[in-house]
Amino acid sequence: MVYDVVIIGAGPAGLSAGLYAARARLKTLIVEKEAAGGQIATTDEVANYPGSIEHATGPSLVARMVQQAEEFGAEKVSDTVVSVDLEGDIKTVKCEKNEYKTKTIIIATGAVPKHIGCPGEKELTGRGISYCATCDGAFFEDLEVFVVGGGDSAVEEAMYLTKFARKVTIVHRRDALRAAKSIQEKAFKNEKIAFMWDSVITEVKGDGILQSMVVKNVKTGEETEYFADEDDGTFGIFVFVGYDPATKLFEGMVDMENGYIKTDDNMKTNIPGVFAAGDNRVKPLRQVVTATADGAIAATQAEKYIEEHF
C-alpha cells in the first residue's frame, strides 16, 4: 500500500498536518516514536495559543488535536523511524516495526532540550536533574530547586515550580533575563524566586541522587559548591537552555542550516514531495501557533504536489 502522505512526528505541526491532510481525503499516516505532543505535552499552561482562555494545558490541547486528526481518518502508529529514502516518486520510510511507502513526506520531528553539558549530568538525570517542570515538579514538594536559563520557557517554568518548591533560583549566564518583559515582571514580583546572575553550573555531584552542584561566576571565574540542605538530602535542577533540532536522520539529504531544515514559505524542502514543518525548520519563532500553521501549509502543499504529479 502507498500512502499519500506520511508525517514523521506527532507534535502540534505533525498533528495539524495530519488534520489538514486527512480532511483533504489524503491517505494519511502519522508516525511517532513517543507520546504525541512533542514539547507541548510537557507544558503546564498554554496561555499564548489563540482561543486558549479556559486554561488549557499542553496535554489537554494535544489530546484534542489527536482526536481531531483521527476523526477525519488520519492513521497514527507508534514506531521509530530508522531511515528514509526520499528519492523518486514513491518514497520509503523505514521504521523498527514496519516500512511505509508514500507519495509525500512531512518532516515534523521537532526539537529536543539542550543539556548543561557538565560532568555528572547524564548520571543524575531523573535523579534530581530534569528538563520538564510539569513532568517532575511535584517530586520537589517543599524542596529547593534551581532553574538554568533566562528565556521565556525558563522563567515560565520557574514560576510554575513555585507551586511545589519552597524556593526557586534562576541561574543565568548573563546579568539580565532574555524572557519577554511581561514574564520578567511576574517573576520579579514572585517572592519565592531568586536569581543567580553571571553564573553557570560546571559540575553536579551525588551518590545516586543529586546532592551538590559547582557554580562558576563567568565574570570573576570564582567557583562555589552548593550542597543540599541536610534535612532535605537533595534538591532539583531544571534545565531550559534551548533546543536542538531532531533532524540527524535527514542530514546530507535535505538542505539545512545549523541543523535546522531549510524550507520556502510553502514548507517545501529542496527535495520534491518532501516538506518540513514546526520547530525543526529554519524560522524566526518557534511556538505552538507557528507549528500548527506550518503543518497546515505543509499538508495543503502536499495535496497540491500529489494533484500535479500523480
Residues recognised as catalytic: 132, 135-136
Cα→Cα distances 309→6, 263, 279, 300, 304, Å? 17, 20, 28, 14, 9
Joined together, the cell numbers standing for residue 20 give 489538514
Query: Please, are residues 112 and 246 in contact by the beta-carbon 8 Å criterion?
Result: yes
In the sheet that holds 223-227, the strands lie side by side as 199-205, 212-217, 223-227
According to DSSP, the β-strands at 212-217 and 199-205 are antiparallel
- Find all residues with CB under 8 Å of 268, minimum gap 6, and list them: 274, 275, 301
Beta bridge partners of 2: 101
Residue whose grid cell is 491532510 = 21
What φ, ψ does residue 280 adopt, rounded to 5°? -85, 0
For residues 176 and 188, the answer to whether their CB atoms sit within 8 Å is no
Cβ neighbors of 97 (< 8 A, separation 6 or more) are 77, 79
Give the C-alpha separation, 210 to 120, whole Å.
9
Kind and range of the H or E element at 186?
helix 181-189
Q: Which amino acid is at 241?
A: V
Residue 261 identity (one-letter amino acid): I
Which 8-state DSSP code applies to residue 87?
A: -
Q: Is 293 in a helix, a strand, or coil?
A: helix
